[in-house]
């Protein structure tokens, strides 16, 4: 990820997704379905023009940190989220 870019990640609760923007332009998202005390992360997308910039890891980390802070367990139906958790075992305790 380039250090010269302004990266912002926000939780859009209305759309049930976490959105990452680069210099004010939406670059991707991690979407989820809600259940009682669980977030099922089902899809992560980085737009083609932003791929290869290392954006998915901070996006997923932000989403998982938000779930932890909210006391919500997660299900990793999305392969990107599952892969991130496999590489970062400190998040395994969030899995339902």
Q: What gap in Å lies between CA 49 and CA 35, rounded to an integer?
A: 33
* CATH classification of the domain holding 24: 3.40.630.30
Between the two ends of the chain, the Cα-to-Cα distance in Å is: 31
Q: Is residue 68 part of a domain?
A: yes
Q: Is residue 11 part of a domain?
A: yes
pLDDT digits (tens, 9 = 90+) for 72-86: 999 999 999 999 999
Instruction: Identify the DSSP state of 16.
Output: T
Which token pair is 8?
Answer: 């912002």
Residue 90 has pLDDT above 70, yes or no: yes
pLDDT at 19: 98
Q: List the domain range (segments joined by +) for residue 52.
A: 7-94
pLDDT digits (tens, 9 = 90+) for 2-59: 456 899 999 999 999 999 999 999 999 999 999 888 999 999 999 999 999 999 999 9
pLDDT at 1: 45
Rounded to two decimals, what is the model's pTM? Answer: 0.93
Q: Is residue 66 part of a domain?
A: yes
Q: Is residue 1 part of a domain?
A: no
* Total domain count, the chain: 1
Q: What gap in Å lies between CA 75 and CA 48, rounded to an integer?
A: 26
Q: Is residue 81 part of a domain?
A: yes
Q: Is residue 69 part of a domain?
A: yes
Q: Is residue 2 part of a domain?
A: no
Q: Is residue 63 part of a domain?
A: yes
């Amino acid at each position: 990820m380039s250090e010269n870019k302004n990266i912002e990640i926000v939780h859009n609760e209305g759309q049930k997704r976490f959105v990452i923007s680069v210099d004010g332009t939406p670059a991707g998202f991690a979407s989820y379905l809600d259940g009682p005390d669980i977030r099922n992360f089902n899809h992560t997308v980085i737009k083609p023009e932003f791929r290869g910039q290392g954006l998915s890891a901070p996006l997923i980390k932000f989403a998982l940190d938000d779930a932890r802070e909210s006391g919500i367990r997660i299900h990793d139906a999305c392969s990107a989220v599952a892969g991130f958790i496999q590489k970062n075992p400190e998040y395994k305790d969030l899995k339902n």
